Amino acid sequence: MLELDRFACDYHYEHDHDHDSNCRMTAELWDRETFVEQLRAIGMRAYHDKHPFHIAMNEGQLVPGALRGWVANRFYYQGNIPIKDAAILGNCPVREVRQAWIHRILDHDGASSGAIESAVLSGESAAPHAPGTARATANEGGIEAWLRLGEACGLSHDELLNNRHLLPGVRFAVDAYVNFARTQPWPIAIASSLTELFAPDLMTARLAAFEKFYQWIDPRGLDYFRRRLTQARRDSDEALGITLEYCNTPELQREAVRALEFKCDVLWSMLDAIHHAYGSLETAAC
Rounded Cα distance, 174 and 167, in Å: 11
For its own copies, the closer CB: 62 or 147: 147
Least spacing, CB of residue 112 vs its own copies, in Å: 4
For its own copies, the closer CB: 60 or 200: 200
Least spacing, CB of residue 106 vs its own copies, in Å: 4
Least spacing, CB of residue 93 vs its own copies, in Å: 7
Find the helix packing angle between 64-91 and 250-278, rounded to 10°: 150
The answer to whether 76 touches 174, Cβ cutoff 8 Å, is yes
For its own copies, the closer CB: 200 or 279: 200
Site residues (vs its own copies, CB under 8 A): 79, 82-84, 86-93, 95, 98-100, 102-107, 109-112, 114-126, 132-135, 138-143, 145, 181-182, 223, 227, 230-231, 234, 238
For its own copies, the closer CB: 122 or 215: 122
For its own copies, the closer CB: 128 or 132: 132
For its own copies, the closer CB: 81 or 173: 81
Least spacing, CB of residue 100 vs its own copies, in Å: 6
3-state SS, the chain, equals CHHHHHHHHHHHHHHHHHHHHHHHCCCCCCCHHHHHHHHHHHHHHHCHHHCHHHHHHHCCCCCHHHHHHHHHHHHHHHHHHHHHHHHHHHHCCCHHHHHHHCHHHHHHHCECHHHHHHHHHCCCCCCCCCCCCCCCCCECCHHHHHHHHHHHHCCCHHHHHCCCCCCHHHHHHHHHHHHHHHHCCHHHHHHHHHHHHHHHHHHHHHHHHHHHHCCCCCHHHHHHHHHHHHHHHHHHHHHHHHHHHHCCCHHHHHHHHHHHHHHHHHHHHHHHHHHHHHHHHCCCCC
Q: Is 274 exposed, middle or buried (0-12, 13-18, 19+ CB in 10 A)?
A: buried
For its own copies, the closer CB: 87 or 266: 87
Least spacing, CB of residue 91 vs its own copies, in Å: 8
For its own copies, the closer CB: 118 or 280: 118
Rounded Cα distance, 3 and 17, in Å: 21
Least spacing, CB of residue 153 vs its own copies, in Å: 19
Least spacing, CB of residue 273 vs its own copies, in Å: 21
**How many residues can be counted in the chain?**
286
Least spacing, CB of residue 88 vs its own copies, in Å: 8
